[in-house]
Structure 1
Amino acid sequence: MTTAHRYETGEEWALAADAADPLADFRAEFCMPQHEGREIAYFCGNSLGLLPRATRQAVNDELDYWAELAVEGHFRGRLPWLDYHEFVRDDLAAIVGAKPIEVVAMNSLSINLHLLMVSFYRPTAERPAILIEKSAFPSDRYAVEAQVRFHGHDPATALIELEPDQANGTLSDAAILRAIDEHGPRIALVMLPGVQYLTGQALDLKTIASRAHAQGCMVGFDLAHAVGNIDLALHDSDCDFAVWCSYKYLNSGPGAVAGAFVHERHARTDRPRFAGWWGHEKSTRFQMGPEFRPTPGADGWQLSNPPILALAPLRISLQVFQRAGFARLRRKSQALTGYLEWLIHERVADVLEIATPTEPSRRGCQLSLRVKGPRESGRQLFEHLQNDAIVVDWREPDVIRAAPTPLYNRHMDCRRLVESVARWRDKR
């Protein structure tokens, strides 16, 4: 991939870089939205990934099985519904760096977070606290606060919030580890993101888990903005659990079925859990007995039978990732994001500042941008980009997020974005 000192601002360079991209053909596998007859430059895969063209047929196939086989579709057809969640297991494990027994596709992220906190947030009078970041995604904040209250504790004292300690609003590794060391004896659960949604900062999961475990804490991660975006080695990170959604970088559709990881050491555990029929061991599930015997591994946290029409898009998307190869995708992601960062500094440094860390190891493909000047300028630029067929997203109070996603974004998309910002600046 091209390094920063060889980037150029001209259109010819961007076109040549795209022509040389070994992953260029994957773009054609996605439906590209249009705006007034013009193809959109889409930088919002960190909110909702684009539709893989093969997804429609995969869903239609399951509808056809439903029409033709009815209830027998659970046992017949190419992919019987009874085992359908197992057909995504290996690819899901590969993309998060886990063993197949450690992952399951189920529910939504917030539901999975609650279910796993039932097992892994076990507060005591001496150790009631949860460590989160100050600007946690609202759903995480709501969930951990609800769990704290459910157990009879006061969030005012049992939630420990990490304040950003760096000028761009990010957290230094030292600040995270210092908070764990300082509050460790009171912390029951460390609950942090893999990639912070507002700043795009990637955290060092293994180091955090190691320090937290040394203090006797359980460790969970929200990977909503990390899965399909950065290299994850969940098994080796040694965290106790993780949760994620599949509608962002995993391109599985609005409200897509989510995922969960439970480390192999908890495959058989007497920790409490909310039990459901589909979490019962597979070999005796249909004996319909009254005693719950959990399936070993992450499957044991399932409640209900799998949502087939929601799993089909995930199965297709994971197959795309496997064909592309995540190592190649990550290299392209770093090249695109590096190019976008370089262009911003070269062309519109007087307009934009970047909150996301510069080091590739500390970010994924998202760049979080702030407009210099009056706060209302940020919203004005966002609306200008939308009207110019460039889709980014806006996060209060003042952040524009742009994510050049390697499966379908190009260098030319990055150039379109920056040139549009330059035109907006020149018209002000």
Structure 2
Amino acid sequence: MSDYKLGLEYALEQDQNDELKSYRNQFHIPKDKYGNEWVYMTGNSLGLQPKQTKTYINQELEDWANLGVEGHTEGKTPWLPYHESLTESMAKVVGAKPIEVVVMNTLTANLHFMMVSFYKPTKSRYKILVESDIFPSDKYAVESQLRHHGFDDKEGLVLWKPRKNEKLLKYEDLEHILEDIGDEIALIMIGGVNYYTGQFFDLKRITKLGHNYGCKVGFDCAHGAGNVILNLHDSGADFAVWCTYKYLNSGPGSLAGCFVHERYANRNDLNRFTGWWSHNKETRFNMREEFDQLPGAEGWQLSNPPILSMGAIKASLDMFQKISIEKLFKKTKKLTGYFEFLINQLKEDTIHIITPKNPNERGCQLSIQVKNADKTLHNKLTEAGVISDWREPDVIRCAPVPLYNSFEDVYRLVENLKAILNE
């Protein structure tokens, strides 16, 4: 969009005409000690709390208080099948079929459970390919899997790197790696949206490329779920994992999501860790039955889930059900494009956006590299009431989330940044 304009009046006009503007009022916006709302730009680290979350969690506390153990079957949303009440809406968010999705565990735990099934190294094919600046937890997880299977965690890790003096990754370089050593790579594990640059990868292209060389392919969609249109089923990926506390607004440390493609729905021969929640629901409580695998992603569960956390997830997903990820992404393109427009008015020799310019190759996060800056810049922004995210050595990550951030928020953020840079 090339018709963005400068000035507060334009931002206020865009907010007035925004079809999603009412959703901002459905969130708690943090305030400073004087009662002024923060410009909150860190939904890519922790999403804000929907006002209805308290009601959803209180319902479970009431059922627990009034029903005790009977809440498993008699609660307003019975606890035994509670996770099933999240499946359809979560599947829509990530572009999957319900049989392919389950809410369980936490992000890195789910990544390990997926690798139990989909990382099957041999003496000649054992390497794991990741992007060179993958999120640290993912790197630690895949390195530990290499060690667990008796391989060297440095020699067995293949890095897809950006070219010299560049930040973004090129698919041609991935193709060259696979042409050279594709028959040595057992697993490709990529962050669907890179946490640092905000680059949104073409999941389908990567999956097809990996499968052509006999590799299994999985994605960490922590920065993608609720942010971009993932289309996990159509991507053909073997598996994907994501957290729910960023763009899915379910609260700190809340449960995570997991996708396993439907072609594995009835593959009981796959190696996996199991527990009684992956056992046939009809005979689960007979206790002495031999293990009977549930079909689909549910078959990777272990234990009965924490209901209070699921209550928070349900509160958020019910909101997503009323909109659609497509509508949110449409606003993201406009809001983030406006943010990009304003940033580009600042000192070109001082400030540089490292996130892709193509709106289809990013979500709502822009990663802004500031020449010769240190964390003092971030601290000054915080003092000015702008909550952003600093990443060493010189990048500020800001995510105008379409559910609760406004054009005025973006305007105020850039005005504060401009004032600090001009000091």
Q: Which interval holds the TM-score relative to the shorter structure?
A: over 0.9
Q: Secondary structure at the match of 1:84?
A: coil
Distance in 1 (CA, whole Å) between partners of 2:414 and 2:28 is 23
Does the Cα contact within 8 Å between 1:378 and 1:398 map onto a contact in 2? yes
Aligned with 2:404 (options 408, 420, 427):
408
Deviations 1:86-114 (Å, cap 9, x if unpaired)?
A: 00000000011100000000010000000
Distance in 1 (CA, whole Å) between partners of 2:208 and 2:223 is 22
Correspondences of 1:178-193 after superposition (within 5 Å): 178-193=176-191
Distance in 1 (CA, whole Å) between partners of 2:207 and 2:143 is 21
The equivalent residue for 1:19 is 16
Offset of residue 182 of structure 1: 2.2
Deviations 1:127-157 (Å, cap 9, x if unpaired)?
A: 0100011111110001000000000111122
The equivalent residue for 1:249 is 247
Distance in 2 (CA, whole Å) between partners of 1:183 and 1:233 is 28
The equivalent residue for 1:232 is 230
1:293 aligns with 2:312: no
The equivalent residue for 2:199 is 201
Distance in 1 (CA, whole Å) between partners of 2:253 and 2:191 is 20
**Higher mean displacement: 321-330 or 381-390:** 321-330
User: Runs (4+) of structure 1 moved beyond 6 Å?
Assistant: none
Offset of residue 290 of structure 1: 4.8
Distance in 1 (CA, whole Å) between partners of 2:163 and 2:360 is 19
Higher helix fraction (1 or 2): 1
The equivalent residue for 1:141 is 139
Correspondences of 1:289-368 after superposition (within 5 Å): 289-368=288-367
Distance in 2 (CA, whole Å) between partners of 1:266 and 1:53 is 38
Distance in 2 (CA, whole Å) between partners of 1:178 and 1:97 is 30
Does the Cα contact within 8 Å between 1:166 and 1:172 map onto a contact in 2? no
Aligned with 1:378 (options 374, 381, 393):
374
Residue identity opposite 2:26 in structure 1: E
Does the Cα contact within 8 Å between 2:147 and 2:153 map onto a contact in 1? yes
The equivalent residue for 2:418 is 422
Aligned with 2:69 (options 68, 71, 74):
71
Offset of residue 292 of structure 1: 1.7
Deviations 1:345-388 (Å, cap 9, x if unpaired)?
A: 1134343211100001111100001111x2xx231211111001
The equivalent residue for 2:119 is 121
Residue identity opposite 1:416 in structure 2: R
Distance in 2 (CA, whole Å) between partners of 1:310 and 1:182 is 45
Offset of residue 166 of structure 1: 6.5
Offset of residue 325 of structure 1: 2.0
Q: 1:63 to 1:166 in 2, by over 3 A?
A: farther
Distance in 1 (CA, whole Å) between partners of 2:277 and 2:157 is 33
Q: Between Structure 1 and Structure 2, how many residues are aligned?
A: 421
The equivalent residue for 1:53 is 51
Q: Secondary structure at the match of 1:6?
A: coil
Offset of residue 208 of structure 1: 0.5
Aligned with 1:259 (options 248, 257, 260):
257
Does the Cα contact within 8 Å between 2:111 and 2:241 map onto a contact in 1? yes
Offset of residue 316 of structure 1: 1.1
Distance in 1 (CA, whole Å) between partners of 2:334 and 2:79 is 40
Structure 2 segments unaligned to the other structure (5+ residues): none
Q: Secondary structure at the match of 2:246?
A: coil
The equivalent residue for 1:94 is 92
1:29 aligns with 2:16: no
Aligned with 2:390 (options 387, 394, 399):
394
Does the Cα contact within 8 Å between 2:93 and 2:324 map onto a contact in 1? no
Offset of residue 395 of structure 1: 1.4
Q: 1:341 to 1:47 in 2, by over 3 A?
A: same
Residue identity opposite 2:173 in structure 1: A
Distance in 2 (CA, whole Å) between partners of 1:180 and 1:281 is 40
The equivalent residue for 2:36 is 38
Distance in 1 (CA, whole Å) between partners of 2:39 and 2:164 is 31
Residue identity opposite 1:330 in structure 2: F
Which TM-score applies when normalising by structure 1? 0.97
Which TM-score applies when normalising by structure 2? 0.98
Residue identity opposite 1:258 in structure 2: A
Does the Cα contact within 8 Å between 1:195 and 1:201 map onto a contact in 2? yes
Does the Cα contact within 8 Å between 1:199 and 1:368 map onto a contact in 2? yes
The equivalent residue for 1:8 is 5
Does the Cα contact within 8 Å between 1:348 and 1:418 map onto a contact in 2? no
Does the Cα contact within 8 Å between 2:63 and 2:76 map onto a contact in 1? no
